[in-house]
Structure 1
Amino acid sequence: MIQSGLRAPESPARTAALRITLVCFAVSMIDGFDTLMLSFVAPLLVKSLHIDHASLGRVFGAGFLGTVLGSILIGPAADRFGRRPMLLLSLALTGVLTLACATATSAPMLATLRFIGGLGMGGAIPVVAAITAQNSPTRSRASLVILMFIGFPLGAVVGGAITAALMMKFGWPFVFLMGGAGALAAMVPVWFVIPAGATPRDARLASAQRRPRSLNPFGHTLADGRAPAAIALWCGVLATMILSGFLVNFMPTILNLNGIAPDRAAMGAVLINVGAILGALALSAIVGRFGPFRPVVAVFVAGAGLTIALGQLIGVGNGVFAMLFCIGACLVGGQLTFPAIASRLFPDDVRAGGVGWTMAIGRAGSIIGPLVGGMLLAAHLPLERIFQMVGLLALCGALGVALAYRWQPGDATRRPSVGGGELSIADSELSNGKH
């Protein structure tokens, strides 16, 4: 009788957690598509707007800079002013500015629109990661955050396929219209499904108690002994995002230089991303039992070995494509767990800010990676040497995650936020059922 009485409130709580996760997953998909859509339409933009490649690069850079700043600014703001309002603001910025991109007539205009819209794109992910973690049952929290973030690369893959099918028929402005409309449409389920307050039970109390401490949000993020673990994690994030930025962007070029036809060489980047999605799905099942830290360290070490071996075997038969799939599963799939690791490291009252800084550093690494990769290829270094460097970066990533696990405050996973915000919906309702 006691057990059945305890189970009764748990089912609606888990249903609510699943609903919230699905909405956050949809936002993540839309954000992934909107962030990467410029890559899909770039060839047509060059012809239609008469943009040279240098100007196109500045457009890319403006968008990436906007996402970095958005992660840094909107994450902490969500911890102070509430997560649903800041997520709605992020979606509104993304939607309106992406729609406006369809009217762009020059590279400077497009760069400006992408920069402002990038603030919303960069701000959405840390907020949905914090919302998913906050409203998930404790045992499945890391797994659900990983599943939510899989929506980001999946949105890019699905969006790329849709773009390929429709862009030639309707033109490049249609892609921006589709992305902007999707972001604005997502505001409806966010409004009706995401809880209004920072926590379901006592949002007003938590918000009032947080405000005096948010004058220095970065310092508060690293307070309570979190600085060593956070800095170690961020070093690992930076190293692995640099390597993935290089691999995803330059692998087709490297394959082509080694005698593989361009159409087949393009499959290299596709296989890395497909492997990343399946690898993250596998990790989401594993971290429910072992936590997010140790499995990620293991796959990064395995990915380092595979990458070094790839440098020796590249250009030798079709086995290279199987290795690229496995490298994507280990290295890029492991990176998809970073929001879950950050959600585990940072307590609820600074979680969006902590995830925001983690994502900003990761996005910076994804910008550095192609730049460094281009310099290495231009220097005509042997591919074996280049892939050894990439493998070393993977080991640095594993070390950063391992040190973050070792140095995290002893009560990091149990410390309640101000006003008890660390309790999830399921935890709070189950607790109420016990009284």
Structure 2
Amino acid sequence: MRITLVCFAVMMIDGFDTLMLSFVAPLLAKSLHIDHAALGRVFGGGFVGTVFGGLIFGPVADRFGRRPMLLVALVVTGVFTLACAFAQSAASLAALRFIGGLGLGGAIPAVAAITAESSTAQRRSSLVILMFIGFPLGAVVGGAITAAVMMRFGWPFVFLMGGGFALAVLVPVLLVIPSAPAAGGREPRNPSVFGTVVGDVLADGRLVPALAFWFGTLACMILSGFLVSFMPMILNFNGIAPDRAALGAVVLNLGGITGALLLSAVVGRVGPFGPVAISFACGAGLVFALGRVIGAGNAAFGMLFAVGACLVGGQLTIPAIASRLFPTRVRAAGIGWTMAIGRIGSIVGPTVGGILLAQKLPLDTLFAIASLFALCGSLGIGLVARRRPRDRSDPDDQHAPSSAIPLPHLEAGHGKH
């Protein structure tokens, strides 16, 4: 449990550092005389950095160990977030956010793999979900802290605070997390970092389920990126005051935390695949309905909470699903690539949403289109459940068809599956 708590703290810092630019953007733009286009490039630099961080750090963590790469990711995040406090231009800030983003994206596969491998098979999915709740919680808590201090101390102090937190967590990581993952010695490590890693990740029958999983992840993250970015604006356009409309994204994320907590209790009993596919399917129906009540005041906020519980809550289980789909020897790579694909969806979502809003589509039509992305997510996760390789060490697979074949018959006739 101590290991899970340390990883939870890392995810809180990751969530805060990822979104801190959103918190201070108005002050920063005014102080550095940054226009909207330049500010967009600053945001983009950080997001692109997190994509590359997940792609690169995951395979390296499989090769050289989870803890060393987590320490490197935290140092990179801390140092370059601190440096942002001294940036004098949009270009320098974008470059610093890109490099810092490498660490932000690289920390996630390491902590997800560490949490999965320090737990029993029965508790693995639940603990990974609970650990990952630290990300939105860090954003919520960090936003509250930022609101309390940024007007008094200025925007540079927020970057100093975020970088300091990232460096401070190095101490519990060194003291609590073991130098090797609990299950790391049971499977051979990759002979090279990148040479055969693609083949290893997709080997042993994982090609179809991995592609389905990544497709579902991308679809749902596109939808989430759209909702989080534009919901306050859409609510405001439909007669809700700006201060209340701004709560739309908060309600969505609070619903996500609640949904993830509920899902963690369910997946501890039956595994994550079926419940998450159902959650996304329910989310599709709720998004469709949201387009018809968006101007109904409090009813819209209640629906937003439910959408967040199904969609954002389901998305918070993605690292848990990845930790179940990919075995120990490629687990960090599989999680890292999954999260990188999710980050791409978070970038694409606002872009696609902006294009659709510019077409001035009726809201019921817009949300009907949006609901299709949630449906695609449900279909992707459902296909993973049907096509993933079965693991006899996994309690949820004990009654699967492939596990029902008597062991002597397997050894005599089939050797290896």
Please confirm whether the aligned pair reaches a TM-score higher than 0.5, indicating the same fold.
yes
TM bucket (normalised to shorter chain) is over 0.9
Provide the residue aligned with 2:228 in structure 1.
248
Which residue, out of 57, 60, 68, partners 2:43? 60
Offset, 1:410: 2.2
**1:229 deviation in Å?**
0.3
2:282 aligns with 302
Tell me the amino acid that sits aligned with residue 51 of structure 1.
I
**Where do 1:38-117 residues align within 5 Å?**
38-117=21-100
CA contact 1:83–1:198 (8 Å) conserved in 2: yes
| Code of the aligned partner of 1:172 | W
Say whether 1:122 aligns with 2:105.
yes
Q: Deviations over 1:281-313 (max 9, x none)?
A: 111111001100111111111111111111112
Partner residue of 1:264 out of 244, 248, 266:
244
- 2:5 is aligned with 1:25: no
1:383 paired residue among 359, 363, 370? 363
Structure 1: distance between partners of 2:393 and 2:155: 46
SS of corresponding position for 1:381: coil
| Equivalent in the alignment of 2:352 | 372
Counterpart residue identity of residue 324, structure 1: L
Quick one: which of 233, 245, 255 aligns to 1:275? 255
Residue 220 of structure 1 corresponds to: 200
Cα contact 2:184–2:329 (8 A) shared by 1:
no
Query: Paired residue for 2:149?
Result: 166
Match of 1:233 among 213, 218, 223: 213
Contact 2:117/2:183, CA 8 A, preserved across alignment: no
Whether 2:336 is the aligned partner of 1:353: answer: no
TM-superposed deviation, 1:199:
3.9
Instruction: Please tell me whether residue 320 in structure 1 is matched to residue 303 in structure 2.
Output: no
CA contact (8 A) 2:256 2:312 kept: yes
Secondary structure (helix, strand or coil) at the match of 2:123 reads helix
Shift of 1:97: 0.2
User: Which of 176, 184, 191 is the aligned partner of 2:159?
Assistant: 176
- CA contact under 8 A between 1:344 and 1:412: conserved in structure 2? no
Quote the Cα distance in structure 1 between the aligned partners of 2:17 and 2:106: 13
1-structure distance, mates of 2:96, 2:194: 30
Change (3 A) 1:388 1:201: closer
> What's the offset of the Cα at 1:215?
2.2
Q: Which residue of 2 aligns with 1:132?
A: 115
- Conserved 8 A contact 1:243-1:369: yes
2: distance between equivalents of 1:335 and 1:411?
Answer: 23
> Once the two structures are superposed, what CA deviation does each residue of 1:38-97 show, in whole Å capped at 9, x if it has no partner?
000100011000000000000000100000000000011000011100000000000000
Query: CA offsets, 1:184-207, max 9 Å, x none?
Result: 01111111111102446848xx66
Match of 1:5 in 2: none
Match of 1:407 among 366, 378, 387: 387
- Aligned residue in 1 for 2:409: none
What is the letter of the counterpart of residue 98 of structure 1?
T
TM-fit CA distance, 1:211: 2.2
In 2, are the aligned partners of 1:345 and 1:413 still within 8 Å (CA)?
Answer: no
Distance 2:386 2:184 in 1: 33
1:187 aligns with 2:170: yes
1:213: how far off?
7.7
Q: Match of 2:169, SS?
A: helix
In structure 2, what is the equivalent of residue 197 of structure 1?
180
Paired AA for residue 26 in structure 1: A
CA contact (8 A) 1:32 1:154 kept: yes
CA distance in structure 2 between the partners assigned to 1:328 and 1:212 by the alignment? 40
- Cα distance change on mapping 1:400 and 1:413 into 2, 3 Å: farther
5+ residue gaps in structure 2? 396-417
- The percent of aligned pairs where both chains have the same amino acid is 68
Q: TM-score, with normalisation over the residues of structure 2? A: 0.92
C-alpha distance 62-139 of structure 1, shift in aligned 2 (>3 A)? same
SS across alignment from 1:390: helix
Rounded to whole Å, the distance in 1 between the matches of 2:159 and 2:193 is 40
1:380 aligned counterpart, secondary structure: coil
The one-letter amino acid paired with 2:251 is: L
Deviation at 1:111, TM superposition (A): 0.4
**Within-5 A mapping of 1:281-296:** 281-296=261-276
The 2-side partners of 1:262 and 1:410 are apart by 50
TM-score by length of 1: 0.89
Say if 1:347 and 1:412, in contact at 8 Å, map to a contact too. no
Aligned length: 395
Partner of 1:340: 320
Partner AA of 2:49 in structure 1: G
SS of corresponding position for 2:234: helix
Q: 1:377 to 1:247 in 2, by over 3 A?
A: same
SS at match of 1:215: coil
SS at match of 1:311: helix
Report the equivalent of 1:430: none
**Kept after mapping to 1: 8 A contact 2:60/2:193:** no
Q: For structure 1, list consecutive stretches of 5 or more residues without a partner in the other structure.
A: 1-17, 416-435
CA apart distance, 1:386: 0.7
Give the distance between the partners of 2:392 and 2:133, measured in 1 at CA: 25
Equivalent-residue separation in structure 2 for 1:128 and 1:197 (angstroms): 12
Aligned position for 1:141: 124
When residues 200 and 342 of structure 1 are mapped into structure 2, their CA distance, relative to the original with a 3 A threshold, is closer
Q: CA offset at residue 409 of structure 1?
A: 0.8
